[in-house]
Amino acid sequence: DVNGAKYEIFRLKEVEGYQTLPYSLKILLENLLRTEDGANVTKEQIQALAQWNPADEPNTEIQFTPARVIMQDFTGVPCVVDLATMREAIADLGGDPERVNPLAPAELVIDHSVQIDNFGTADALERNMEIEYERNGERYQFLRWGQTAFDDFKVVPPGMGIVHQVNIEYLARTVMTREVDGVLRAYPDSCVGTDSHTTMVNGLGVLGWGVGGIEAEAAMLGQPVSMLIPRVVGFKLTGSIPSGATATDVVLTITEMLRQHGVVGKFVEFYGEGVGSVPLANRATIGNMSPEFGSTAAMFPIDEVTLDYLRLTGRSEENLALVEAYTKEQGLWHDPSVEVKYSEYLELDLSTVVPSISGPKRPQDRIELSDSKEQFRKDIHNYADTDELGAGRPSKSVGVSMEDGREFELDHGAVSIASITSCTNTSNPSVMMAAAVLARNAVDKGLKSKPWVKTSVAPGSRVVTEYYEKSGLIPYLEDLGFNVVGYGCTTCIGNSGPLESEISQAIQDNDLSVTSVLSGNRNFEGRINPDVKMNYLASPPLVVAYALAGTMDFDFENDALGQDADGNDVYLKDIWPDPTEVQKIIDASIDTEMFTKEYGTIFDGDERWQSLETPTGATFEWDDQSTYVRKPPYFEGMKHQPEPVTDIQGARVLLKLGDSVTTDHISPAGSFKSDTPAGRYLLENGVERKDFNSYGSRRGNHEVMIRGTFANIRIKNQLLDGVEGGFTRDFTQDGAPQAYVYDAAQNYQAAGTPLVVLGGKEYGSGSSRDWAAKGTALLGVRAVITESFERIHRSNLIGMGVLPLQFPAGENAESLGLDGTETFDFTGVTVLNEGKTPKTVKVTATHPEGKVTEFDAVVRIDTPGEADYYRNG
């Protein structure tokens, strides 16, 4: 009974054993209690979770029905494409297309597409947005159609912010309510998102993580996501951050610790007395980097700090009262005196954290700032020709003359990009304001950014600009070139835009190994900019400091950043912000009004958005000339009842692969050349080479994506002795080598030949990328036989009607003498038509020379729900 209203709740307290469960498992337990239906969610699952033993290895499957789905535009567009196609399929069968509608609220934030084409000027933001609309208008029109066509689907237009920051500042409800059969029900907020950093919301006590498009669509349509009850790592926080260090340093330290410990597939949960003194912004920064730790989620419990944040960000008093009452009633309110059981334990005394950066290619490779120069001099040897490096230091000065008269020398290690970017840190006022204060101190001392550095600020919400403006510090950032360039992912997702042409030319002509410094969470080689080899993660104030230094070959303790007006050397310590002053400015600059102002109209967008022509109607009118948004063929010929499942006869091997094939090998996200099948397709459809964009941006077009399947330049096909580049042998052409996978698959389809893929261990690891399964199915692959599967890719294959099989225990393709030239028959699959799931199917592989190999492959359709998906194609 809260705010005079009565809410129905599903009482955790009635489940024996719930008290000592970690917070995150309590949320899952409530989820099961509320969604129990005897089919997908069973009493056994509830029991297993209530009696969870922290020592158990994860082997019990449960179903999680998220309360909401959030998306970004790269991965969200194909989800909406699929929903639009489902609507049409229903209409074709004579049904009501509007039956296809999200049952769980779905929100999409357009944040991934904006690119930094302009920077360092007052009009950079405006010009970048103009270009963004030119490039992506077609996709945006489609999303606008979705917003009008679907009931519970909302789109946050471009230029508003980054999905995870918008989620914590506005979208997340923490406790949800919904009317069911005339009764008001209250339950914990939870979500899945089509982006790995969805875990940022864990900082707010909301359970959620990133999933692939297929699972997100299923969740939108009210279906549960299958998962194993995980091990939960208890992470005790004590002490407080020392004055020279920041929240970014904390998260880089935690990343290093958890990577060393090993938390893949586990939940991490922060606990202990110290948790209560961790500000919410820091909790969100830590939750954000859960994928970098390797964990599924990185949770903080709900307490006063959570309520204060909800109040600051403008959530209603009613909502706050409900959050407090609900969590206290359910035993979800953080109580450090309750002893919770964890599977493993770790501890960090925050007072031991020191200023750090991470790089040059992995977030877990933390470097203490005091060692950064020395470490760079070691690392540069992996990136530059050793003969060019004098006594361990970069020594290849290249003179560059710019058209505007700037002249300078570039060397290995030059900082070519310094970007305050990414939801990880731009959501955190403590580090954002520290950057601004450092900029002011630097400008006061007469320091300047080096002229070769591409500087930018890309906040994850417009509130940042509001509080920057109120603080009066914007002019200092702009003085150093840190103008706002966009509200979106920009540099973090690799949309750093081209470097200035003379600089880019000098780098390429001289093979310089230059660097980027960004306040993001990922720095894989090649992610940030094609000209930049070494990428470093750092706090926003350190990003500004590196723009001043201009090189990674810099020791902030002993090297001067420049001289002041009196000719005195200025060091980092002379301009480093005083945390007490930073906090004072934050307190004076941030208020609730900013949040209510910016979020009050968040879905409206600007004139550009509103003036986009919006298609209307329950179904979408596809443009068959579009190269971005096309109707996929998944439902072609769909009938009211599925065709009976058939055995598979005469299948040929499309690829024979080794261990650890990732979903990025199967469906790459990056750019591609004009002589690949995808490139050829776009050229034939009138797209110029310069407008190819990436596979990632063309996921709404299955024609590009099928052609990109198995096209990763690093995939090694053993049918061709490990030749890289997405090639295979085409047995319709006498086994001709070097056919593109797509071209060979086309020939097999024309001949009516089903296909099979042979794999090794951990097939489909890496991410839950839906296109890895969609592309496999669309190429005509009917079965994949491996030694083991990554869980989500296996489930996605079933979702697309591809049979996941495993070699008998202890066997693999080699041990069975299979070289991939065989013809495969699979029998026993038809048992599925009797409502049963076969444990094994009989596989007969006939070698061209007549040798026959028979084995029983293990069918990895693990649940009745999965069998249903498979039967329905």
**DSSP reduced 3-state for 644:** coil
- What residues between 399 and 458 interact with ligand F3S by CB under 6 A? 422-423
Count of residues binding ligand F3S (CB under 6 A)? 13
Residue nearer to ligand F3S on the CB measure, 522 or 665: 522
Residue 26 sits in the site that holds ligand F3S (CB under 6 A): no
Q: Report in angstroms how near the CB of residue 524 gets to ligand F3S at its nearest.
A: 12
When the beta carbons of 174 and 290 are compared against ligand F3S, the nearer one is 290
Using CB under 6 A as the binding rule, the residues of this chain from 49 to 78 that contact ligand F3S are none
Nearest to 437 by CA among 574, 345, 248, 559: 574
Helices 280-288 and 304-312 meet at what angle, rounded to 10? 100
Q: Report which DSSP code applies to 304.
A: H
Nearest distance from C-beta of residue 85 to ligand F3S, angstroms: 26
Question: Interface with ligand F3S includes 499 (CB under 6 A)?
Answer: no
Backbone angles phi, psi at 713, to 5 degrees: -65, -15
| 7-15, 38-46, 332-340, 489-497 -> range binding ligand F3S (CB under 6 A) | 489-497
**Is residue 334 a contact residue for ligand F3S (CB under 6 A)?**
no
Listed residue (628, 645, 665) closest to 790, CA to CA: 665
Any residues with CB less than 8 A from the CB of 244 and at least 6 apart, and which? 354, 355, 576
Q: Does 197 bind ligand F3S (CB under 6 A)?
A: yes
Q: Let me know the angle formed at the C-alpha of 520 by 518 and 525, rounded to the nearest 5 degrees.
A: 75
Q: Between 356 and 422, whose beta carbon lies closer to ligand F3S?
A: 422
- CA distance to 226, 324, 722, 758, per residue, from 748 (Å): 34, 61, 22, 17
The reply on whether position 774 binds ligand F3S by CB under 6 A is no
Q: How far apart are CB 489 and ligand F3S at their closest, in Å?
A: 3
Structure tokens at 867: 């069998």
Contact 363, 292 (CB under 8 A): yes
Q: Binding to ligand F3S by residue 706, rule CB under 6 A?
A: no
* CA gap 25, 17 in Å, rounded: 12
Piece of the chain touching ligand F3S by CB under 6 A; list 10-18, 158-166, 364-372, 619-627: 158-166
Q: How far is the CB of 210 from ligand F3S (least distance, A)?
A: 10
Could you tell me if 597 and 465 are in contact, meaning their C-beta atoms sit under 8 angstroms apart?
no
Is the Cβ of residue 206 or residue 350 nearer to ligand F3S in the bound state? 206
Q: Which stretch binds ligand F3S (CB under 6 A): 397-405, 486-494, 749-757, 778-786?
A: 486-494
- Residues 488-509, buried b or exposed e (16+ Cβ, 10 A)? bbbbbbbbbbebbeebbebbee
372 vs 421 by CB, closer to ligand F3S: 421
Q: Which is nearer to ligand F3S, 360 or 520 (CB)?
A: 520
Binding of residue 199 to ligand F3S (CB under 6 A): no
Q: Does 166 bind ligand F3S (CB under 6 A)?
A: no
If the CB atoms of residues 693 and 718 are measured against ligand F3S, the closer one turns out to be: 693
The residue behind tokens 């990185």 is: 298
Q: Which 8-state DSSP code applies to residue 485? A: -
> Tokens 């297309």 appear where?
97
Q: How many CB atoms lie within 10 A of CB 752?
A: 8
* Closer residue to ligand F3S (CB): 132 or 825: 132
Site for ligand F3S in 96-125 (CB under 6 A): 111
Per CB under 6 A, contacts with ligand F3S among 576-635 are none
Is 251 near ligand F3S (CB under 6 A)? no
- Mind giving me the DSSP string for 609-640? HHTS----SSS----TT-SS----STTTT--S
Residue 128 engages ligand F3S in binding (rule: CB under 6 A)? no
Give dist(CA 143, CA 318) in Å, integer. Answer: 32
* Among 204, 202, 274, residue whose Cα is nearest residue 235: 274
C-beta of 27 vs 163, nearer to ligand F3S:
163
Count how many Cα atoms sit within 13 Å of the Cα of residue 738 in the half-sphere of its side chain: 0
**Exposure string for 543-568, b = 16+ CB within 10 A, e = fewer:** bbbbbbbbbbbbbbeeeebbeeeeee
- Strand (E) or helix (H) holding 312: helix 304-312
> Closest distance between ligand F3S and the C-beta of residue 427, in Å?
9
For residue 516, state whether it binds ligand F3S (rule: CB under 6 A): no
CB of 854 to ligand F3S, least distance (A): 48
- Binding of ligand F3S at residue 744 (CB under 6 A)? no
Q: Which stretch binds ligand F3S (CB under 6 A): 18-26, 249-257, 485-493, 556-564?
A: 485-493
Min CB(219)–ligand F3S separation in Å: 19
The residue written with tokens 């074709």 in the block is 92
Q: Which stretch binds ligand F3S (CB under 6 A): 159-167, 231-239, 294-302, 465-473?
A: 159-167
Q: How far is the CB of 497 from ligand F3S (least distance, A)?
A: 15
Residue 271 in tokens = 């606990």
Measured from the CB atom, the residue of 22 and 161 that comes closer to ligand F3S is 161
- Measured CA to CA, the distance from residue 604 to residue 613 in angstroms comes to 15
- 619 CB-side CA count, 13 A: 15
655 binds ligand F3S (CB under 6 A): no
Alpha carbon distance 150, 146 (integer Å): 6
| 132 counts as binding ligand F3S under rule CB under 6 A | no
Only one residue has tokens 């790269």, namely 74
Shortest distance (Å) from residue 173 CB to ligand F3S: 20
Smallest separation (angstroms) from ligand F3S to the CB of 787? 33
CA angle 761, 767, 768 (to 5 degrees): 100
For residue 195, state whether it binds ligand F3S (rule: CB under 6 A): yes
Nearer to ligand F3S, 111 or 787 (CB): 111
Nearer to ligand F3S, 365 or 500 (CB): 365
Query: Of these, 223, 521, 746, 796, which contacts ligand F3S (CB under 6 A)?
Result: 521
Contacting residues toward ligand F3S, per CB under 6 A = 111, 162-164, 195, 197, 422-423, 489, 492-493, 520-521
